[in-house]
Structure 1
């Protein structure tokens, strides 16, 4: 088993614990809990609730550089198809070199490319990010966890869903000039539009 701090897919429970242990929490650059529109719980106070995940939060000040990627995820009910409003989506991914903040050597004190948003009335969340690279030969992907609300995310047991959203080969070629890795068996694939000059947009609807 990988030790805490070496695995990249531990999710919010592990990431939150690790960032808190390294004293990286706290709102920065004048952002307030009321501005975030989130309950005043530990998750909201951490600074991780944000839409632009290219910069670090709290005491971390690193910036992830790369091809712009606008990530849009919509949550719907798997039974009725209706949008799920007010649910919290925690999303994270590696940088353009395939390294993860908090986890990869040299990035232990960075926490960029990680963030949480609450779905709007139509079930959508949106993150401003960069196109990820290939981690250890794996297909470029976005890691996602879903909670009933931002407040509920403080308790790991309330997690409703976890998934990996793969980015298609043609988009990887646009961003990096090559499509590395392989998606393996059944995967959840994003629809990617746009171009490198104006930025790419990854969209995926998830039934929960």
Structure 2
């Protein structure tokens, strides 16, 4: 099973509150904070719905640099095993130095390495990112929340999880002979393939 319950922050609800409070969305065409989240259009124009999460969105212009990481998450039904289509995934993680945009000191006005994608006809979402580091000694991981659709509104996540990355991939990305972080209680991790030069690929199925 995926490890739960040790998320670095409160997820999309908490993060979006910070983004709005800090006036980082740069909304145009009459879109206001009050309409954001009411339908798919305003959400998309906020900038948070994107596949490449290395750069900030809205008024944030920071860029996260590091070993390229292609993240592929597949959503499937726990009852039927079939792919879940049209559900929205909010994914975020720390940078290679172990710091989180929006939350870590000095990065309060940055919002990179976080974004939303919608599951395709096969249940897949894909993000272009960089390999995360270790935050406060924790094993490098990806945080995900799954919502019914991109029209998030006031919806609560259907599922929240953390996807850990295997030690050999962490060692490659960090350039060390071994990785000595603490994986926690998870017994399953993402499958990571590829190499540092051409980029790594992390794949994981999330069952809901």
TM-score by length of 2: 0.87
Superposed displacement of residue 27, structure 1: 6.1
Residue 173 of structure 1 is matched in structure 2 by: 171
Question: 1:50-65 counterparts in 2 under 5 A?
Answer: 50-65=50-65
Alignment partners' CA distance in 2, 1:184 and 1:90: 22
Instruction: Provide structure 2 residue ranges, at least 5 long, that are not aligned to the other structure.
Output: 1-6, 29-38
Q: Does the residue aligned with 1:40 lie in a helix, a strand or coil?
A: helix
Structure 1 pair 63–122 and aligned structure 2 pair: CA distance change class (3 A): same
Q: Does the residue aligned with 2:84 lie in a helix, a strand or coil?
A: coil
Alignment partners' CA distance in 2, 1:160 and 1:85: 14
What RMSD, in angstroms, separates the aligned Cα atoms of the two structures? 1.5
Alignment partners' CA distance in 1, 2:154 and 2:88: 12
Greater RCO structure (CA 8 Å; 6+ sep): 2
Residue 155 of structure 1 is matched in structure 2 by: 154
Alignment partners' CA distance in 1, 2:196 and 2:189: 19
Residue 33 of structure 1 is matched in structure 2 by: none
Alignment partners' CA distance in 2, 1:45 and 1:187: 38
Which 4+ residue blocks in structure 1 deviate beyond 2 angstroms? none
Superposed displacement of residue 187, structure 1: 4.4
1:165 touches 1:187 (CA, 8 Å); kept in 2?
Answer: no
Superposed displacement of residue 182, structure 1: 1.4
1:138 touches 1:180 (CA, 8 Å); kept in 2?
Answer: no
Kindly indicate which of the two structures has a greater share of residues assigned to helix: 1
1:53 touches 1:115 (CA, 8 Å); kept in 2?
Answer: yes
Alignment partners' CA distance in 2, 1:27 and 1:181: 40
TM-score by length of 1: 0.87
Structure 1 pair 23–204 and aligned structure 2 pair: CA distance change class (3 A): same
Question: 1:60-139 counterparts in 2 under 5 A?
Answer: 60-139=60-139
Alignment partners' CA distance in 2, 1:156 and 1:127: 22
Q: Aligned residues, how many?
A: 190
User: Which shows bigger deviation, 109-118 or 180-189?
Assistant: 180-189
Superposed displacement of residue 26, structure 1: 3.3
1:39 touches 1:150 (CA, 8 Å); kept in 2?
Answer: yes
